Every structure is written in C-alpha cells, then in structure tokens.
C-alpha cells in the first residue's frame, strides 16, 4: 500500500465513507487477531450486540494463550491459538474455512502476512496519531511513554489499513485527546483507549457499509 498522506493531528472523522444500512443477512464476518487481554475485541463485540456495527466475529486468532482467549470464549466466540509468524497460506486457508470477509487486528503484536485477496480489507488500530509514534516495537505503554517524553499536548488513536510494514498503511480515521501535564503512561493510555472504543467500531462501520464511489468521484 502507498504511504499515508500527512494527517492533521486533530480529532477527525474524515468524510471518506458513507454508511447506508445493510440488511441483517449481509453482515460481513470478521477475523479478529489478538495478542493480549482482548479489550478491543470485546469492545467490537459490544458494538455488534447493540447494533452499532453491522458485522459478526466469525473467528478470533490469538498469538498465544492469554486472558483475551478466555474472555473471547466466554462470549461464545470461536478462538484459535496460532504461533507467529503465521504462513500466508495458513492465514488464507483459515479465512476461507470460516467465510471471513475482513481482517481486524486488535492488539495483535506481530506483522501479519496479508493474503492478496484481503489487501484493502485488513485494518488495525494504533494508540497514537500516526505517522508519529508508530513502527516496530511501538505498542502499549511504550507509545504513551514516547508521547510524554516528546512533550506532546495531544495524542489519540489511528485506524488504518494494513500493509507489509508496521503502522504505515493508509489512514482511515483518527480521534484525538489531550495530554495533561500530570499524565503518566497509564493515565494517558486510559484516555486514548476511551477514544479507541469509539474510533474502531465507527471506522469499521463506515468501511463495511460504504458504497463504491462513482468513477468520476473516485478520480477527483
């Protein structure tokens, strides 16, 4: 995928996608990849349960046994544990077997080989305003420590398409929040995660229910 354009670091809801309603029988099936506690996964399932996200979670793939595995199974989700790196052929086979339409990374800490047919249908959420504070090794409190060390007054989260590198895919949506003088990595993380809980279901709903732009509009 091409490098993202430089975003403005502000709470943004770009008008790139329209959201017509989908019928109940046409909900895309998501494969959600996790490595930790599964909070983002459960947030997406909550959004599905209340009707804010027109999708279903057809498969959860965890990189290791973790509390997220137990939480997902407690919600009735089908979970597989697959040690990374996963071969592209294995990923493609599992997605086909479970009739998956979209790949959703939710705290997955490993570079994923995106099968060709899922390019443009694989997304991630990052706890900072990309392109700042992204790349290999930038996850969890490491991100928030870096934001504080840089003296930033604004942070937030970014939903973006996945490509073959960490955190470089095209940006879909960003939501911002203030960085307070008294913040620790933990207090900033909590404020950013509150924005993630809004941003991920919103971005996915826009993507999953978008109508293709007319050819003339697409070229504009």
* CATH number for the domain that contains residue 59: 3.40.50.170
Number of domains in the chain: 2
Q: What is the pLDDT of residue 50?
A: 97
Residue 6 lies in a domain: no
User: pLDDT in tens for each of the 220 residues of the chain?
Assistant: 333 333 333 333 332 323 333 344 579 999 999 999 999 999 999 999 999 999 999 999 999 999 999 999 999 999 999 999 999 999 999 999 999 999 999 999 999 999 999 999 999 999 999 999 999 999 999 999 999 999 999 999 999 999 999 999 999 999 999 999 999 999 999 999 999 999 999 999 999 998 655 544 333 3
Determine the Cα–Cα distance for residues 205 and 189; give it in Å rounded to an integer: 24
Which of these three, 119, 136, 152, is where a domain ends? 119
Q: What is the pLDDT of residue 63?
A: 98
Query: Looking at the structure, do residues 137 and 115 belong to the same domain, yes or no?
Result: no
Query: Looking at the structure, do residues 144 and 171 belong to the same domain, yes or no?
Result: yes
Residue 158 lies in a domain: yes
Determine the Cα–Cα distance for residues 172 and 191; give it in Å rounded to an integer: 20
Q: What is the pLDDT of residue 26?
A: 72
Q: What is the pLDDT of residue 212?
A: 59
Residue 217 lies in a domain: no
Instruction: Supply the pTM of this predicted model.
Output: 0.85
Q: What is the pLDDT of residue 211?
A: 66
Domain that holds residue 109: 28-119
Query: Looking at the structure, do residues 153 and 168 belong to the same domain, yes or no?
Result: yes
Q: What is the pLDDT of residue 92?
A: 97
For residue 181, cis peptide bond before it (omega within 30 degrees of 0): no
Query: Looking at the structure, do residues 70 and 95 belong to the same domain, yes or no?
Result: yes
Query: Looking at the structure, do residues 45 and 94 belong to the same domain, yes or no?
Result: yes
Catalytic residues, by residue number, are: 126
């Amino acid at each position: 995928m091409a490098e993202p354009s430089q975003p403005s670091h502000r709470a943004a809801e770009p008008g790139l996608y329209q959201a017509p309603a989908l019928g109940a029988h046409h909900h895309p099936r998501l494969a959600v990849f996790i490595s930790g506690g599964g909070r983002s996964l459960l947030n997406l399932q909550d959004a599905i349960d209340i009707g804010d996200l027109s999708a279903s979670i057809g498969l959860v793939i965890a990189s290791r046994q973790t509390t997220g595995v137990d939480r997902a199974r407690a919600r009735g989700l089908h979970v597989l544990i697959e040690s990374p790196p996963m071969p592209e052929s294995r990923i493609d086979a599992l997605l086909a077997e479970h009739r998956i339409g979209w790949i959703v990374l939710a705290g997955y800490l490993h570079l994923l080989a995106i099968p060709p047919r899922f390019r443009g249908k694989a997304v991630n959420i990052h706890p900072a305003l990309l392109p700042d504070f992204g790349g290999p090794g930038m996850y969890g409190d490491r991100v928030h420590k870096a934001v504080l060390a840089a003296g930033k007054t604004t942070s937030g989260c970014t939903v973006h398409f996945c490509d073959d590198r960490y955190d470089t895919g095209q940006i879909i949506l960003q939501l911002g929040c203030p960085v307070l003088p008294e913040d620790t990595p933990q207090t900033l993380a909590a404020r950013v995660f509150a924005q993630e809980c809004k941003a991920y279901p919103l971005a996915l709903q826009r993507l999953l229910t978008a109508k293709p732009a007319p050819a003339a509009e697409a070229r504009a």
